[in-house]
Amino acid sequence: MNDAYYTPEGLALEMLSYLPDEFEPKIVADFAAGHGSLLNASCQKWPEAKILANDICGESCSILKKNKKWLISKSNFLNSRSRSNANYSKYIGSVDLVILNPPFSVRKRDWLSWFNKKNNKTIKASYSAIFILLSLSYINDDGMILAILPSGSLDSQRDSSAWDFIKEYHSVNVIKTNHNKAFRNVTANTIIVLIKKLKEKPLINIEQRTSVVYSNNFEIFRGSLPVYKAHFVTKGIPYIHTTNILNGQVEINSYVSNKKSLISGPAVLISRVGKFNLNKIGLLHKTQMVSISDCVFSITHVDENKTISLFNKLKDDFERLQNLYTGTGAQHLTKKNLSEFLNSFSCF
């Protein structure tokens, strides 16, 4: 394939951070695996998961086969006969997570076709859109597709028929716009997209905010809006995930229309899940109101000065807080441990 721009390790790990922390896939597949960076990241997070790896390139497959526990296929995923003869063919409807960085283009820029059995019509679209359409049949009812796509893919007239069909039966959320230098040796405008099957019964949109006030009058609130349920918009409520907490600041670069999981500053925000360090403690200022993901804790106090004092105290004592993050997979901080830690500060 001409587009051999493999996913950097850092980007692969970041993609997985956007999935709900309770998500534990048993089967993970990549049908354009390249050298396997997306699957390597998946193995780090879920070491017990079964891995299905495919690529059309023999050299890439040779590299993939170094992972002895993976089920490797060398097939043209875009060709039905090739797919039917591949090792992954028996996993239709069984995969929990398909993770993809599909080829974006070819020199001839041919259109590809996909036959829609629901209405007996043929959909013509780009390589990346056809990859998504073909991947849909492999995920189970609770499965997800996490993919890197060209930034204009969802709005492209060329791919409009494909995405109209996908959105009829699936939720499609743009999680992030990547930097155009995210890939080595190429300038590419890309996005990260999360796709899930729509449930037959609509979800009840009820705010389930649970916050607790502890003995030193600090209120701890765990966010309740996962990335995969967030409806991202151009203008709306600022949305804060762990990746938005940087160097003591709360960086705002994405917005949602969901009016839930709301908190107002001043507040201390810390990551609940993932590798914790000093940079993952942020201060939300008094005039700001944001929606926080389920991977973020907010800590507030009725006394604004005490909130700011706590922010400085946590930075000074972050190593002790860091030791409270536990877990064999993704490390996380419990509300109980956080509350006990805050109550240990006699100065409050």
Check residue 238 and give its pLDDT.
94
Q: What is the mean pLDDT of the chain?
A: 84
Q: Average pLDDT for residues 187-208, to the nearest whole number?
A: 65
Chain Cα centroid distance, residue 144: 10
Domain ranges of the chain: 9-197, 211-343
Confidence of residue 281 (pLDDT cuts 50, 70, 90): very high
- Which of 66-70, 110-114, 242-246 has the least mean pLDDT? 110-114
Q: Which CATH class is domain 211-343?
A: alpha beta
For the four alpha carbons of 165, 167, 173 and 177, in that order, the dihedral sign comes to positive
Q: Residue 92: pLDDT above 60? A: yes
Residues 191 and 310: their CA atoms lie apart, in Å, by 36
Q: Judge contact between 17 and 174, C-beta under 8 A.
A: no
Q: Residue 69: pLDDT above 60? A: yes
The tens digit of pLDDT for each residue in 121-176 reads 788 888 889 999 999 999 999 999 999 998 877 877 778 888 888 888 888 888 88
Considering the four listed CATH numbers 3.40.50.150, 3.40.109.10, 3.40.50.620, 3.40.50.720, the one that applies to the domain covering 9-197 is 3.40.50.150
Gyration radius of the chain over CA positions: 22
Check residue 186 and give its pLDDT.
63
Check residue 209 and give its pLDDT.
43
Cβ neighbours of residue 312 closer than 8 Å, sequence gap 6 or more? none
What phi and psi, each to the nearest 5 degrees, are found at residue 197?
-65, 140
336-339 long-range contacts (CB < 8 A, ≥24 apart) are: 338/220, 338/297, 338/299, 339/212, 339/214, 339/220
DSSP label of 328: S
pTM of the model: 0.57
- Which of 166-175, 184-193, 251-260 has the least mean pLDDT? 184-193
